[in-house]
Amino acid sequence: MRLRLTIVFALLAALCVAGSAFPVVGGTTDVGHAYVGGAIQLQTRGGRTGYELCSGFLISPTKFVTAAHCFQSGAGAAPIQVTFDGVLRPQPGVLIALNPILGTVVNNPAFCPACGKNAMPLNDVAVVTLETPQTERGQATLPAVGSNDALGSGDPVDVVGFGWSDVSHKVPTALGTRQFATTRTVSAGVLGDNYLALLTGPGACQGDSGGPDLLPGTNVVVALTTSGNGNPDCNGIQYSQRLDTPTIQSFILGA
């Protein structure tokens, strides 16, 4: 996932902490969400070159939703490579997406890296338009506007993500494999206008940013993994960007 409240570009911009990498804490290998993928991008910032890695999901054959903090593309940034099969690291400093699908990313114009709760990202949604339609993978469904208001404390939520499988000198060097876990909402009091608060043990962890939070046993994605205030073991609280607001849905559907 991420697990810091600020975005750090230590050769990536996936909210992160030092320490071991765990794709979806307490999760199992996922077999039911073929529309969840990983995404990587080669970028150079401040004279430093590296990869940004996150998760995401299809809502149509060509529209892949992820977190805006993952891919803040600047001038000359490489295209996004979306993969549903993982990433290899054949040698240090080189990542290769398996069966990559190229795409271009558009960030929510209202995205602000540190304008939300506890200086977290706000309106943290981006849409990648894929060059090759992925019709055989199925897709997630956006929730009804305002539907998250019905969630209460302790309600179950399914999380899916790729995570990081390897970290070197605090820098992720490979995505993991798609993992699945069921977690729970923390309390109704933090189900505010922008965020869904979830436990992370089990739950999302480093490299899962942008991955979907789903109503249990469905493909209805109520939020996407954004940030957390836990620790390197990913057993704190995850805050996910709600996708049931009219402004967020207007951006996603119009991107």
Sequence spans of domains, the chain:
28-254
CATH of domain 28-254: 2.40.10.120
Residues 211, 148, 156, 58: what is their CA dihedral angle, to the nearest 10 degrees?
-30
- Return phi, psi of residue 107, to 5°: -85, 150
User: In this structure, are residues 83 and 96 in contact, taking their beta carbons and an 8 Å threshold?
Assistant: no
Residues in a beta bridge with 197: 239
User: In this structure, are residues 153 and 5 in contact, taking their beta carbons and an 8 Å threshold?
Assistant: no
Please report the pLDDT score of residue 152 as a whole number.
Answer: 86
Q: How many CA within 13 A on the CB side of residue 134?
A: 27
Please report the pLDDT score of residue 70 as a whole number.
Answer: 86
pLDDT profile of the chain (255 residues), mean per 10? 31 30 61 91 69 90 94 70 84 81 92 79 93 96 93 90 61 68 78 82 78 95 79 72 95 92
Please report the pLDDT score of residue 186 as a whole number.
Answer: 86
Residues in a beta bridge with 83: 38
Taking the alpha carbons at both ends of the chain, their separation in whole angstroms is 24
